[in-house]
Amino acid sequence: MSHHFVATTSKGLEPILAEELRAMGIGVDAVGRGVVYFVGKLHVGYRACLFSRIASRVILRLGRGRIDSPEAIYALASEVEWTSHLDASQSILVDFVGRGKGITNAVFGAQKVKDAIVDAVRTPSGARPDVDFDRPDVRISAHLNRGSLTIGLDLSGQALHRRGHGRQAQGAPLKENLAAAILWMGRWPDLAKAGAPLYDPMCGSGTFLTEALGIAQDRAPGLARQRWGFSNWKGHQPHAWERLRKEAQERSRSGRKTSVHLIGRDSDPRAISNARENIRQAGGLDGVSIEKGMLSASNPPSAGGRDPEGLLVCNPPYGRRLEDEEGALALHRELGNVLRRRFLGWRAMVITEQGPMAKAVGLKASQRVPVFNGPIECRVLEYGISRKKVARDQD
């Protein structure tokens, strides 16, 4: 039996997610704002949950229709055979996004969907599902957009950027799926297979490094997770899931033999400690070097007397977080100078806030991709660094 699935992601990452799903052998049906649609048997949805680094959630569609009133939400939700998905003894949570006629807030919309579920599953004795905001047995997604409501089962449970291993962080770290998307844009999967090095001169808690390590060693991002949105779902197919887990485990065992050359650098000792711990939990520190030092002292690793060509990635402060605006601008200018003087022949992927920060780097970007880092509108800037040395730094 084929199902309709919706994979969600951050704005701007939809084409990258579609590419990733296709690379996994999943046929993409359509791409929308913040979503990618695909069709397949249940194990296809499971595969997206387990192996996608860029998706935020994977939703199994249960119903869809036009909505023009709160009563219509209840009616559409009532068309779903909820007794095939959960029992009265189980807990639920409804995530509702969007507004429409008579629907002025998400809480009201979620209430209507929840009422339909409870009325459908309630037993003659009065037993009914409870709402659990922390660890629901079944999580329901409801998305209202331009009068069309889509109701689905959230197969993910927790958002997929939570990889399942602990994460030490400080400040405002980059989400794992955004970091993975930037690495994908920089063609890191191919570079890693070719043995290229990766360098992050402002690594913070090591998000780029942990994602780069997972990609290079073919470790499924969901392999460490113990609980999923489908774990207590009545329609769950344990055998199909276990086959995928065994595939992921075998690929991970094989991938550990892959040598990596990852270098992180940061001026904050706490960040270095956090990065080391995060990388250790994500797969180990073999082939990973974390250095204490300033951006200005960054240099590419040498290889047999020649400078290897690799990928530099970084998420410098935007001026609203760790430093003031003038300090952040100076740091972006310094980044541009370090790239053009020392990382000759490298590719660089930099995510920064749209506006003065992006201009301060002082290099011509071959690609500028609009994305959102949380609520902040940013640009992912790709630079192909010339092999020719420059005469002087920019001011």
pLDDT for residue 355: 85
pLDDT for residue 136: 97
Q: What is the pLDDT along the chain (395 residues), one digit of tens a residue?
A: 899 999 999 999 999 999 999 999 999 999 999 999 999 999 999 999 999 999 999 999 999 999 999 999 999 999 999 999 999 999 999 999 998 888 888 999 999 999 999 999 999 999 999 999 999 999 999 999 889 999 999 999 999 999 866 666 665 679 999 999 999 999 999 999 999 999 999 999 999 999 999 999 999 999 999 999 999 999 999 999 999 999 999 999 999 999 999 999 999 999 999 999 999 888 788 889 999 999 999 999 875 555 578 999 999 988 655 457 889 999 999 999 999 999 999 999 999 988 899 899 999 999 999 999 988 899 999 999 988 776 556 55
pLDDT for residue 283: 78
- Residue with structure tokens 């055998």? 239
How many distinct helices (H) and strands (E) make up the chain?
11, 15
CB 64 within 8 A of CB 104: no
pLDDT for residue 300: 92
Report residue 241: phi and psi, to 5°: -65, -40
The pairs formed by 120-129 with CB atoms below 8 angstroms and a separation of 24 or more are: 120/78, 120/80, 120/81, 120/82, 120/83, 121/82, 121/83, 121/86, 121/87, 121/88, 122/88, 123/88, 127/88, 127/89, 128/88, 129/86, 129/87, 129/88, 129/89, 129/90, 129/91, 129/92
Alpha-carbon torsion, ordered 338, 343, 346, 347, to 10 deg: -10
Half-sphere exposure of 313 (CA within 13 A, CB side): 28
From the list 275, 295, 294, the residue with the least C-alpha distance to 285 is 275
CB 7 within 8 A of CB 16: no
Report residue 62: phi and psi, to 5°: -110, -25
The radius of gyration computed from the CA coordinates of the chain, to the nearest angstrom, equals: 23
Quote the Cα angle for 189-57-88, to 5°: 145
List the strands of the sheet with 311-314, edge to edge.
288-292, 262-266, 198-200, 311-314, 347-353, 376-384, 367-373
Rounded to an integer, what distance in angstroms lies between the CA atom of residue 247 and that of residue 253? 10
